[in-house]
Structure 1
Amino acid sequence: MPSKEWPVVWAAVREERRALIDDLTALRPEQWATPSLCPGWDVHDVLAHLVSTAKTTRWRFLRGMVTARFDFDRDNAAGIARERAATPAGTLAEFRRVVDETKTPPAAPATRLVEAIVHGEDIRRPLGISREYPIEHVATALRYQLKTPAAMGGGKQRAEGSRLVAVDSGDAAGSGDVVRGSGLSLLLAVSGRPVHPDEFTGEGAAAFLSRLAIAD
């Protein structure tokens, strides 16, 4: 049965998708080929992936995984190949069409919010685009990532041994030496994205960054 939180999460997902559309609408043609924070994917690839996952139902996910012989990378590549239009404008038009979709693979809707924010940064950071994310959106995504194993796309293991404190939301989780940073920086770090050392303070910051480097 759907949780009472689902409508709130899906509203946040739609908001993040629309914000990304706004940012991408003004891109110059050559910017679409910019390498994203996802190794091997450019900006256009990440958008095609977001289109693919917006259309992914539980059954479609399971069929795709069987076809990909349960290889997540192969399944993602197939989704990008299927949804990447001949031009970025075509892919962006399809993303607009699916912006209000509430489909999800066999996982909590919070995974769609994690994806919207993290993949949004996979695109924005290399392009030099900044977004002031609503703190509550980031906090929801971070809480989900911190309780989800890395094998399932989460960041639980990356956070082990640290007391993570989001200085903007006031959320704190874990035990160990304190690591302070914005909720967004912490979310990206535990999601396996590159972060700058200056994004963190606290007595546990250096050890946290070292563990991230080893894990990735």
Structure 2
Amino acid sequence: MSPETDFTADQIWWHIDAERAALADVLEGLDDDAWSTDSLCAGWRVRDVAAHLTMATAGTADMLPWLLRTGFSFDKAIRESAIALPADRAEIVDRLRALVGCRRTAPFVSIREPLIDILVHTQDICVPLGREVPEPAPTPTSGSRADAAAAAADRVLALNRRPVVSLRRLPRGVQLVAVDADWSWGRGELITGAMTHLLLALAGRRAAAALLSGPVHLLDR
């Protein structure tokens, strides 16, 4: 059973909305030092990751100047546009809150990509700050944060199975098993942890190793 296919659009959007609202509450309480702290994304401050999350509905016309400026490097265009976003702390928080209830996505992505973004980037912000985002109270039909992270992880794996362009190299020789969701992946030595932390590992964040149990050095193999 795959969470990616079992999760409905309504469930996915519920989690995107709930996680955006929860992160906005955390961001609102950060001081200047926290906003300037390096995130888990290399070269991105907490402020830059937060700014990026407010640009989830950016269209082709919005990104084209940045793609031209960066030689059509998608990753560089995303980073530089977020860093240059002319918004202060309060405006970034307001923009993130304004996305709650929005059902638009950037071009050429499914609704699961914003789910991956909010779950991974929330950790990119909060892990280096030593903060946790309280889990939004689930509804009888929404599923838990761990369920949502499992659906996001399945999407990451699906994107990496594309024949031409994949996201990143996946770990080999390991089996990842969630302790809080009915989810596992891979074959080999056992690595366990919370589903959100396993998602962080699949997203290529080395900091995830410190949050997991088992031979975590194999994640870099």
User: 2:67 touches 2:74 (CA, 8 Å); kept in 1?
Assistant: no
Query: Per-residue deviation at 1:123?
Result: 0.7
Q: Verify: 1:161 aligned to 2:173, yes or no.
A: yes
User: 2:149 touches 2:196 (CA, 8 Å); kept in 1?
Assistant: yes
Unpaired segments ≥5 residues, structure 1: 212-216
Alignment match of 2:149 (pick from 134, 138, 141)? 138
Match of 2:94 in 1: 93
Query: Per-residue deviation at 1:182?
Result: 1.6
- State the TM-score, normalizing by the size of structure 1: 0.81
Query: Per-residue deviation at 1:43?
Result: 1.1
Unpaired segments ≥5 residues, structure 2: 136-144
Match of 1:179 in 2: 191
Runs (4+) off by over 6 Å: none
Deviates more, 1:74-83 or 1:40-49: 74-83
2:57 and 2:156 map into 1 onto residues whose CA distance is 22
1:124 and 1:198 map into 2 onto residues whose CA distance is 14
Alignment match of 2:182 (pick from 158, 162, 170)? 170
Match of 1:214 in 2: none
1:107-126 to 2 correspondence within 5 Å?
Answer: 107-126=109-128
Q: Verify: 1:191 aligned to 2:191, yes or no.
A: no
Match of 2:158 in 1: 147
Query: Per-residue deviation at 1:113?
Result: 0.6
Q: Verify: 1:6 aligned to 2:9, yes or no.
A: yes
2:80 and 2:66 map into 1 onto residues whose CA distance is 10
Q: Verify: 1:209 aligned to 2:219, yes or no.
A: yes
Q: 1:208 to 1:61 in 2, by over 3 A?
A: farther
SS at match of 2:131: coil
Name the amino acid aligned to 2:180. D
User: Identical aligned pairs, as a percentage?
Assistant: 29
Higher helix residue share: 1
Match of 1:34 in 2: 37
Number of residue pairs aligned between Structure 1 and Structure 2: 202
User: 1:185 touches 1:195 (CA, 8 Å); kept in 2?
Assistant: no
User: Per-residue displacement from partner, 1:12-49 (whole Å, max 9, x unpaired)?
Assistant: 11111001011111112332111111111111111111
1:159 and 1:75 map into 2 onto residues whose CA distance is 27
Give the aligned CA root-mean-square deviation in angstroms: 2.6
- State the TM-score, normalizing by the size of structure 2: 0.79
Q: 1:32 to 1:200 in 2, by over 3 A?
A: closer
Higher relative contact order (CA 8 A, sep 6+): 2
